[in-house]
Homo-oligomer: A and B are copies of this chain.
């Protein structure tokens, strides 16, 4: 399993790096952006469209899939890949983030978390072992340790306790996963998650202890939850150097195009975020020249393409005026068209970033991105 990741190149200017992550369902070139398929679908987008856009891996959310349709049904379907008809790599989170952000009446014990479903109020008890059981039934290529996600802002004591719990649970996840692997081997990769909120020493402790458990890849959790960009950057600078260079590094829940540049610069390889589809559904798209809120009145008679620099099927077919009309007429088609463009944008952004590492001009490329992307706001 440890040979799953190979480092191809590291920037001479910063910690940015090119890599390749190998899974049963195919290879992933890093730095990579993973579209989020919360409930077994990247909202509004078909599998064919995702593949055509260049998506190499998508995410599923264990919490959502566990509650509906249920891990047993997914297992009966032959796993999530077959259930949703997706043939490329997939990653599932552990359920931890949703348990701590979506549910009510949580009771955290050393053993696990009792919570009420956000759907029907039913009671559930999730433990590291149960999360492993669910994620094996779902069968993604990469699965994540069950962790306690502290909110933001959060006291030092709370963050410390959640971090400590997460490390203990990481060991239990690894042990349980190993037992199950011995009984019935799969090619799943289990990643550890580093917590610690915005406290440098907690991040350091979490990184050291999680790395000591030993996983084929490590994630940074608990960022992009409301902290400032400076705090996020500081935590990355503290944490990433403590993560093994020969393992993939995944920054969970990020993100914004500018955050991706900052994180890649600091050595992150993997990203996931609902922004491309969520913003798309809200009428906003990403372009290299900044964000465009196509539902705004200024685009009513704008017959130009959505993003003049983009050759995605949306930008080569439809005008801003048409997309604006669809927004105003509340036509469902526009939700998928804007989401699809945003997926293309994120994939293209990662290509630009990878190319700059390849050519070893990351710093210039980042500067150029910032100058263009924020030009509208500065004007």
Interface of A with B (CB < 8 Å)? Answer: 39-41, 43-48, 64, 68-69, 73, 76-77, 83-85, 281, 300-301, 303, 313, 317-319, 321-322, 324-326, 328-329, 331-333, 335-337
Contacts and interface: CB of A to CB of B under 8 A. Distances in A.
A39 B329 contact: yes
Top-8 shortest CB links A-B: A69-B325, A39-B329, A41-B333, A85-B317, A44-B332, A41-B331, A83-B322, A77-B303
Contacts of A77: 303, 319, 321-322
Contact of A69 (B69, B73, B321, B335): B321
Given A73-B301, A303-B77, A333-B45, A40 B318 contact: no
B68 A328 contact: yes
B47 A321 contact: no
19 contacts: A39-B331, A40-B322, A41-B326, A41-B331, A43-B331, A44-B332, A45-B333, A46-B313, A46-B337, A68-B325, A68-B329, A69-B329, A73-B301, A76-B303, A77-B303, A77-B321, A83-B322, A84-B318, A336-B336
A239 to B, nearest CB: 34
Contact of A44 (B76, B313, B321, B336): B336
Given A321-B77, A321-B83, A325-B40, A300 B332 contact: no
B69 A300 contact: yes
A64 B326 CA distance: 12
Given A40-B322, A64-B329, 16 more contacts: A40-B329, A41-B333, A44-B336, A45-B333, A46-B333, A46-B337, A69-B321, A69-B324, A69-B325, A69-B328, A77-B321, A83-B321, A84-B322, A85-B317, A281-B332, A332-B335
Contact of A336 (B83, B328, B332): B332
Nearest to A86: B317
Contacts of A83: 319, 321-322, 325
Contacts of A44: 332-333, 336
A27 to B, nearest CB: 23
Given A48-B313, A301-B76, A85 B336 contact: no
Contacts of A328: 68-69
A295 to B, nearest CB: 13
